[in-house]
Amino acid sequence: MTESELSNMNGSRTNKKVKKDLLQDYDIVYVVKQNRPFYEDKYWIDIFGERLYMQCPDEIDRCNGIEVNFDKRYGWLIQFKDGNRLDLHVVPVEEVDIKSDKLCIILLDKDGLLPAIPEPSDEDYLIKRPTQDEFYACCNEFWWCLNNIAKGLWREEIPYVHRVLYDGSHPELVKLLNWKIGYETNFQVSTGKASKYLKEYLSADIWNKFLKTYINGELNDIWNSIFIMCDLFQNTALEVAKHSGFFYLWEEAKAGYYFLKHIYTLPKNAKTVFDN
């Protein structure tokens, strides 16, 4: 097996601002001369401990028809029987970019191949200040995607509703709440991967409303969650617009919300969407 040149670690364990707990992964990258000996050897990873189960994400991508190049990057996601989890990757030395992740720390560089890097920082992960165009796009996407949500609910197509909600309007609400937090903290915080730390920066009232935007499989409950989501988005959009001085397309928002509410009351035996 080709010898490892060096190793580094990134992820939450290198971020001093993240609270440590027993479920944190170890995110390790070995920089090597060649990847092939590592991904062809099925047993060398046993040196890390007894595995409970694992995934090789690059192999899964290939199974799903995605083009991958194992010789440029290859990884193992491993859950061990002792409770530890290791996200391990190998990258050939000519492919590594040690400066691309500011949370990276060098664990070993026996041959002095890497440049000096500063202390790990989460600055790349801080909430970014939006532009007027980004704010417009967020609001337009939110209100427009309600159209698909409304027709899915009217047809009682629950799987479709889940898909268009969480691919459409809901991510825009999350984005907007991040911007709200950004303005309140001078854009000096991160809400983490998938905004998992939102609760830490929102009031209890807003947080509880946000939780209610996650839907179940009951039609009436879903309608109620969507209305809560719209009210929360509207109030937050106005707040962000006030903080930023951005223009908010109020008429567009009213039209989108009007259509949603109209479809909610539309009888199942209706012959037209609107009576002319």
- Provide CATH code, domain 126-265: 1.20.120.330
pLDDT digits (tens, 9 = 90+) for 57-80: 999 999 999 999 999 999 999 999
Give Cβ neighbours of residue 165 (< 8 Å, ≥ 6 apart): 145, 149, 215, 226
Q: Which two tokens stand for residue 108?
A: 């070993």
DSSP SS3 for 7: strand
Q: Where are the domains of the chain?
A: 4-124, 126-265
Cβ burial of 170 (10 Å; 0-12, 13-18, 19+) is: buried
pLDDT digits (tens, 9 = 90+) for 239-260: 999 999 999 999 999 999 999 9
Global pTM value:
0.85
pLDDT digits (tens, 9 = 90+) for 191-231: 998 999 999 999 999 999 999 999 999 999 999 999 999 99
- What pLDDT does residue 173 have? 98
Confidence of residue 56 (pLDDT cuts 50, 70, 90): very high
Cβ burial of 249 (10 Å; 0-12, 13-18, 19+) is: middle
* Local structure of residue 104 (DSSP, 8 states): -
- What pLDDT does residue 93 have? 84
End-to-end CA distance of the chain: 76
**Candidates 3.30.460.10, 3.30.2130.30, 3.40.50.2300, 3.30.43.10; correct CATH number of 4-124?**
3.30.460.10
